[in-house]
């Protein structure tokens, strides 16, 4: 557990002006009465949130989950007894983070119940994002590193036990979720089969364990295929529960209905601006995509250098020396790409999903999302030593802040002039915006149990203006994630909208003293947490938070 009562050293090298003053005033205060009890409750909660292990695998049986829920109720009683009303705002923010995470675990038990409803929760290979069981292994790369070989056989031997437990736990499985589980298990079957074949000579014990894991996966797959047709179709949490989750767990001030209106308006706006750009540059052909790994890496490196130089040179945000993009990562890997049966990213004929159609032509918008967006965010959080807020958040509590910030940067580079002399890069940016806006409605409809997965897929693929066929892997991946993790799909666009609201409030308050670089640095210095809490710290306004207590 991290502990610190002073300004973390890393902040002094990143922040400037108003942001540094903000950080100093926030964390120089003495610890208020009761804060030590909050830290104790938080530590115990974080231990409770990790399921116990039996025979080396996580226990999600009904008895184990009932025991965990009882422990949660005891800790919530202790949290409710803490009076934070006279604490400084940053300490009250910490209290709200603990409260939101406890509510997140409550929501898992009372509504989502992935261990009982979602077969894809039991992803033994940790394929992709989204909720999954504790302890899922990463797909091993071949040849095996010696230290990986030492532990892999034991992990593989746990797969049959995991899947046997899953069949007993899944008492309320849903049709859409089962179909996603079937797709997942087909990939895992192939992964384990390849591992068994390719380790047979050098690691026979791993090969045998991988074969057992493959056979258990096949049995689980067959079982899912047998029960799929008889399951309730929809896998959402329901509109009322969705609104509760947004307000009380994600600390998000918008409702399902409000986001539907905002999302549709933003979709219309993106389409209009796209068509205006296309008209202005109608005599210029669209860029051709690169066709080799080397050309892809060169294009990405050029975009990264341009991006960071622009943001620093125009004083838009602090770009520290240690923000260095990695070279050689290649295109974005989807869970389906882990299937050994699939060709490599540049094997002919090249199969490009939606994001590769964009990035293989001009990667600047997506690199804005991923470098000063996600990479910088992750590096900042890793350096944040503050108690509670410096930890990785549970239950997607910081999701709208993380995705909203990253998507905000895509439009920022366009509006700040980085793409002024790059007309096709501007068009690609608006295509990306339209696609992200088109994702809002499908998530909302699926979570309200008004649309099935297939209906949501049709909406997304037909309303994305280019590069998205009905079987596009990105569309499949996105909607799986948005069905299995409430709030994810809306987070990009509606998170950006909430950030823009804060921007406007701070700009109005500071008038001619407003500085965009100081605003961005101060926003990031607050930490990875809901924007409503950052707003409370930056403006002192608690009108939203009062509705969320």
Mutual orientation of helices 473-484 and 488-510 as an angle, nearest 10°?
A: 80
**DSSP-assigned beta bridge partners for residue 53:** 58
Q: How does DSSP classify residue 109?
A: I
- Output the pLDDT for position 15: 46
Q: Does position 504 have pLDDT exceeding 90, yes or no?
A: yes
Please work out, in degrees rounded to the nearest 5, the angle formed at the alpha carbon of residue 72 by the alpha carbons of 71 and 77: 100
- Output the pLDDT for position 237: 97
Alpha-carbon gap, residue 318 to 169, rounded angstroms: 49
Contact present, 307 and 367 (Cβ < 8 Å): yes
Which residues make Cβ contacts (< 8 Å) with residue 312, sequence separation at least 6? 318, 319
Q: Does position 97 have pLDDT exceeding 50, yes or no?
A: yes
Question: How many other β-carbons are positioned within 10 Å of the β-carbon of residue 285?
Answer: 7
Q: How does DSSP classify residue 351?
A: -
Task: For residue 339, count CB atoms less than 10 angstroms from its CB and return exposed for 0-12, middle for 13-18, buried for 19 or more.
Answer: middle
pLDDT above 90 coverage of the chain, percent: 86
Q: Is the dihedral of CA 346, 347, 348, 354 positive or negative?
A: negative
Which residues make Cβ contacts (< 8 Å) with residue 276, sequence separation at least 6? none
Tokens found for residue 27: 């964390």
User: How far, in Å, are 166, 286, 352 from residue 360 at the CA level?
Assistant: 40, 12, 9
Three-state DSSP at 57 gives strand
Q: Does position 139 have pLDDT exceeding 80, yes or no?
A: no
Q: What is the mean pLDDT of residues 135-148?
A: 83
- Output the pLDDT for position 340: 81
N- to C-terminal Cα distance for the chain?
Answer: 26
User: For residue 341, what pLDDT band results from cuts at 50, 70 and 90?
Assistant: confident
Q: Which residues of 5-14 are buried (b: 16+ CB within 10 A; e: fewer)?
A: eebbebbeeb
Q: Is the dihedral of CA 332, 337, 343, 349 positive or negative?
A: negative
Q: Does position 299 have pLDDT exceeding 80, yes or no?
A: yes
User: For residue 506, what pLDDT band results from cuts at 50, 70 and 90?
Assistant: very high
Least-confidence region, from 202-206, 279-283, 341-345, 388-392: 341-345
Q: Does position 247 have pLDDT exceeding 80, yes or no?
A: yes
Contact present, 297 and 327 (Cβ < 8 Å): yes
Task: For 386, list phi and psi in degrees, rounded to 5.
Answer: -70, 140
Run of H or E residues at 54: strand 53-54
- Output the pLDDT for position 338: 77
- Output the pLDDT for position 394: 95
Mutual orientation of helices 488-510 and 423-438 as an angle, nearest 10°?
A: 120
- Output the pLDDT for position 29: 53
Q: What is the mean pLDDT of residues 529-533?
A: 98
Task: For 542, list phi and psi in degrees, rounded to 5.
Answer: -115, 15
pLDDT digits (tens, 9 = 90+) for 433-489: 999 999 999 999 999 999 999 999 999 999 999 999 988 999 999 999 999 999 999
Most confident by average pLDDT, 12-16, 43-47, 327-331, 344-348? 43-47
Cα dihedral: 477, 479, 483, 489 (round 10):
110
Q: Classify strands 57-58 and 53-54 as parallel, antiparallel or unpaired.
A: antiparallel
Pick from 491, 522, 492: nearest CA to 506: 522
Per the prediction, the chain carries an average pLDDT of 92
The larger pLDDT score, comparing residue 5 to residue 548, is at 548
Alpha-carbon gap, residue 499 to 494, rounded angstroms: 9
Q: What is the mean pLDDT of residues 155-160?
A: 95
Q: Does position 42 have pLDDT exceeding 60, yes or no?
A: yes
Least-confidence region, from 60-64, 138-142, 416-420, 516-520: 138-142
User: For residue 13, what pLDDT band results from cuts at 50, 70 and 90?
Assistant: very low
Alpha-carbon gap, residue 482 to 485, rounded angstroms: 5
Pick from 126, 120, 133, 111: nearest CA to 59: 133
User: For residue 141, what pLDDT band results from cuts at 50, 70 and 90?
Assistant: confident
Q: Which segments of 416-542 does DSSP mark as H helices, in order?
A: 423-438, 440-447, 453-463, 473-484, 488-510, 516-525, 531-539
Q: How does DSSP classify residue 58?
A: E
Q: What is the mean pLDDT of residues 312-326?
A: 96
Tokens found for residue 269: 């706006």
pLDDT digits (tens, 9 = 90+) for 382-402: 999 999 999 999 999 999 999
Q: How many residues does the chain have?
A: 549
Residue at token pair 């047709």: 229
- Output the pLDDT for position 23: 47
- Output the pLDDT for position 157: 95
- Output the pLDDT for position 138: 82
Please work out, in degrees rounded to the nearest 5, the angle formed at the alpha carbon of residue 403 by the alpha carbons of 489 and 526: 140
Tokens found for residue 545: 């938070």
């Amino acid at each position: 557990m991290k502990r610190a009562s002073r300004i973390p050293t890393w902040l002094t090298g990143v922040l400037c002006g108003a942001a540094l003053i903000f950080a100093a005033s926030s964390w120089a205060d003495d610890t208020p009465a009761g804060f030590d009890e909050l830290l104790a409750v938080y530590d115990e909660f974080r231990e409770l949130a990790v399921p116990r292990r039996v025979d080396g695998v996580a226990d999600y049986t009904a008895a184990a989950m009932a025991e965990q829920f009882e422990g949660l109720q005891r800790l919530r009683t202790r949290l409710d007894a803490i009076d934070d009303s006279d604490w400084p705002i940053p300490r009250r923010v910490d209290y709200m983070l603990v409260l939101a995470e406890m509510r997140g675990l409550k929501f898992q038990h009372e509504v989502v119940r992935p261990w009982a409803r979602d077969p894809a929760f039991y992803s033994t290979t940790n394929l992709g994002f989204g909720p999954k069981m504790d302890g899922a292994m990463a797909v091993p790369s071949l040849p095996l590193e010696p230290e990986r070989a030492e532990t892999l056989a034991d992990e593989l031997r746990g797969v049959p036990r995991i899947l046997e437990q899953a069949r007993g736990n899944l008492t309320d499985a849903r049709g859409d979720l089962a179909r996603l589980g079937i797709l997942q298990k087909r990939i895992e079957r192939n992964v384990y089969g390849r591992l068994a074949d390719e380790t047979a000579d050098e690691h026979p014990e791993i090969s045998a364990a991988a074969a057992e894991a493959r056979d258990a996966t096949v049995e689980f797959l067959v079982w899912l295929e047998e029960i799929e047709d008889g399951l309730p179709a929809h896998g959402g949490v329901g509109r009322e529960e969705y609104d509760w989750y947004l307000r009380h767990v994600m600390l998000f001030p918008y409702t399902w209905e409000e986001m539907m209106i905002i999302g549709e308006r933003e979709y219309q706006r993106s389409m209009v601006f796209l068509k205006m750009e296309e008209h202005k540059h109608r005599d210029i052909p669209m860029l051709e995509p690169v066709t080799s790994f080397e050309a892809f890496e060169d294009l990405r490196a050029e975009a990264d250098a341009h991006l960071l130089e622009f943001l620093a040179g125009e004083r838009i945000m602090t770009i520290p020396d240690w923000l260095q993009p990695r070279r050689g990562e290649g295109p974005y890997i989807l869970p389906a790409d882990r299937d050994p049966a699939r060709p490599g990213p540049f094997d002919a004929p090249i199969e490009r999903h939606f994001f590769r159609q964009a990035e293989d032509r001009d990667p600047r918008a997506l690199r804005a999302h991923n470098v000063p967006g996600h990479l910088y965010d992750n590096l900042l959080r890793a350096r944040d030593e503050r108690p509670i807020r410096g930890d990785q958040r549970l239950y997607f509590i910081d999701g709208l802040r993380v995705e909203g910030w990253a998507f905000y940067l895509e439009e920022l580079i366009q509006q700040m002039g980085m793409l002024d002399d790059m007309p096709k890069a501007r068009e690609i940016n608006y295509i990306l915006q339209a696609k992200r806006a088109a994702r809002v409605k499908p998530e909302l409809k699926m979570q309200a149990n008004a649309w099935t997965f297939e209906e949501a897929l049709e909406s997304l693929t037909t309303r994305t203006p280019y590069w998205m066929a009905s079987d596009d892997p990105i569309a499949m991946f996105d909607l799986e994630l948005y069905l299995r993790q409430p709030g994810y799909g809306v987070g990009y666009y509606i998170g950006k909208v909430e950030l823009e609201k804060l921007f406007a409030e701070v700009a109005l308050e500071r008038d001619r003293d407003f500085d965009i670089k100081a605003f961005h640095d101060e926003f990031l210095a607050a930490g990875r947490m809901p924007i409503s809490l950052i707003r409370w710290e930056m403006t002192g306004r608690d009108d939203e938070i009062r509705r969320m207590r």
